[in-house]
Structures are given as structure tokens and as C-alpha cells.
Structure 1
């Protein structure tokens, strides 16, 4: 199934597929798995692939994309590829070399979306867009104040097209979502199925989202999985959602998100699950003036 028609228009005129395949894996996962899983995702219909320099798998992900292009399954322009600038490259003179490093690993000429976690790199990123190395510029983990700061920057050339944040029924980000919509910025949800696996980032005592009885009941009602209910919830709110799995059955299953609809009552029940549980707290950044999670939204 081709998911190409399921896209949102970004504020710079480009289109982003609303369902993305997340390639982040914990350090224990074998690197070769990323190539195999990305190929499975493209075969299943995913056209939006989300990775980053930090994930240390861009070579494998790039190989998967290029092999599917070589097989004639997709063209380069069918794939929406996202990479991210890691915090060690924030100095303006390091931004383009970091992006070029990713492109070299991927063996691609450009990325569709390049995301930053801190505002300092924006100017240098605008130059990368002018040079054709990146089509769209976005941010991640920005609260509304940080977004305001960027949008009010004198001489801002390109508005960020998206804000990629943790978002799921336990942390539905409704205020941030409304704010982003009012500024024509797309919210992209990571950890959309909750996550308790990666000990590096996640508090292991966090509740398991997919075991929630409300999700379970809705899954039964719609004859779907709790994961599909959580993904569908985001799409109906106008959120772009990333689904992450290395399991072939689940990768295929996640593309069924377009085959059913939640009722307004279902959506209300899911809204009611919000309890501001954040799985990824990035505690190493607390106390920093740019730490994003001390604000309400």
C-alpha cells in the first residue's frame, strides 16, 4: 500500500507523510537490523524514514533506501528522510560538516528534513537549505517559549516546519499542539507508543502505555491492536506520528492505521488518559537555561 497520499503540507510548501518509520534502536540492537527493518518498512508502504546522526545507523538506513530505489520500488523523491543535528555540532561552523557527514553515510544528495534541538544552529542551517542540502528545517523538544523566541528572531529566513516531541495518550501535548497549529508548525510525535525499554533514557518504573485498559478496550472494539489505537489517535489530531518496530509483523500492522476511524467518544476517552507522564526526561539537561521541560508546554 502506498501511503504517499497521506501527507500534511508544511509551511514551506513541501509535504510530510503523516506516518513515519522511526529507526532509533537501543545500543544492544545489532546495527545490521536497521537495514533489514528499513527495507521491510519501505516494502510495507512507509515513505517517511526518521533517523539521526546519534543513532549511528545512517549507513545501514541509507543502504536500505538506495537498494529500494535500485529495485524500482521507490524513487528518491518518494522518500521523506529526516536526520538530526546532534548537540556536539551546535557551533555554526560545525553544522554543515555534520550534515555532510550524514549525507556521506547515507550516500544521498540531500535530506528532506533536518532537525535541531537547540536554537543556536539555526542560521547555519538556513545556509544548508539555501545550498540545497536540506529541503526543510525543523526543531525538536522545543517548548512554546523557545518556539516564540525562534519565530521572533530578527532576520529569520525560514520558519521551522515542525516540532518533534514526545507525544502519546499519557502526554498528549494538547496545549503545545494548539500553539504549534496556530503558528503553522506541524507537531511530530516520537515515543507515540510509550517506551520503557531503553535504560539510557527512560525511567524503568514508568507505566506501560500499551497495557492501559482504555487502549485495550478500544482495540477490542475496533478489532485492532492497542498500538494502532495510539497511532490513530495522533493522526486524527493532525499530528505526524512515528512508529518504531523491528518486527516484520508489527511493521506491516502499523500501516493499517489508515483503515479505520476512532469516534469522537473514543477520542474523548483517549484525551482523558493524559497524565503528563514523560518517558524521555533528558535529565542530563536539567538546570540548563535551554532545558525545555520545565515549562508547562
Structure 2
């Protein structure tokens, strides 16, 4: 399974009868799935179906979906108000002996306000159902295209992340193999620091001396930090290989990377280790910045 970026765009259009519809989908970064929908008047009933289909394709990102529907041609129809016509005919009958009783002509009927209404012809319900189904199928196509673009962007991001990961692994090896981390060098520095403690305070209690030595030994040893960095590198490689919506877990690992690099810099008593630790922090920041774009 591929990793996905949260950035993408898709457009799909089609026609059904005299209707033309267009879907436009835009996707940007988001903490969760925020699906914002714009529908033309009269299409509100489709909202629940649209959101259900979107949630099957997407799990994270701010999505703006816009549906535009236009009518290619207008169809007008004349609608007779039969109640009004019956009232007119009844009045004509009542006035038959007082006015001309010649038969009503069409132009006379059309001139009577409210008797005939000229309006746009309504659509057959079955035809409207077919149109709406076409629009939903167009949405499926647009969602698939959006996912394809997000996957394409995600593959490019994964390549960048792997490059950063290689740098993190290389710097971890530099820190691990630095001469200052050899047992002999650590023992030498501890002996010098213990000697300094004894020279500075001849009355130092044995328990206090043990505590100080233990503290110095802990600060001198970067084994745990190096091991955790290696474990995090392996976890990131596994997530990138697995694919899918892994952005949140990668962001957590980026924070753990940063935690270990901070500890290494604070413990370091070697200029080479400090330099590697600082470079490590820079790469980790770049890594995390790219991770923010992944689903």
C-alpha cells in the first residue's frame, strides 16, 4: 500500500440530458478529515451520500468539494389554472344576457391574468434520479483521481523521507563510533572527573561519591540514545514500506527522534558528537516538516 500526501486536486464533468455537471475537489493538510461541501440549490438531499462516499476514499485532510450544475437549454410549458377558467366560464354564463355571448377565443383566454402560467417544464422524477446517479458516479471518478494524485505526491515525499532517514542513520553511526564513546575514553574521563571531585572536596562522603560517579557514568554513556535512534529508524522504514495512513505515527517518531538528539547534545563532551547531534536535529526538523504533508 502506498503512502498518500494530503495535497491534491481533481476535476470531473459530464452531461445528462440537458444538464451539465462539474465536480472539483481540492485537498490540503489537516489534522483529521474535514470535508467541506458546496452544492447548488436543490441538491441538498445528496449530501449524506456524498460524504459517505468521500469517507471511503479519504481518512485525513481538509477537502473542499464543489458541485456545479447548469442547464443547457430551458423548456417552457403553459399551465392552465382550471379553477380560474371555471370561474371565468361561470361568470360568462351569468352575464350571458347582458354582454356578447360569442365563444371565447384563445387570445382572450391568454390575456386574462392568472388563467395561464408560462413556466419552466418540470423534469420527470425517474430522469432526475438517473441524473443524480450520474453525478454520484462522477464523484467516485473525481475521488479516485484525487487519491491517485495524493499517492503520486506521497511517493515523492516517501523518497525524500527515506533520504532524510539515511542521513539520520549515518549520523547515528557517526555518534556511535566516535572515539569519545570507547570504554577506555569513558573510563579515563570518569577517573579524571572523580579525581577532580576528590581534590575539590576531601570530605566527600562515600555515598555522595558513588552518586556523583553514577551520574557522570550515565551522562558519559549514549548507548540508550543510540539504540533508540536505531529502533526509530527501523520503525520508520517499516511504516513507509507498509504504507497507508501513517502520517500520525511518523509524526510521533519524528518527535522521538528529536528527543534523542536533544539528549545526545546535552550529554556530549565531544565536539564531534555535538556537531553530529546538531546536524541530526536539523535533519530531523526537515523530516518532520515533510511528515506533516502525509495522510
Category of TM-score, reference length = shorter chain: under 0.3
Decide which structure has greater helix share. 2
TM-score (norm 1): 0.21
Greater relative contact order (CA < 8 Å, ≥ 6 in sequence): 2
User: If you compute each CA radius of gyration, which structure gives the higher value, 1 or 2?
Assistant: 2
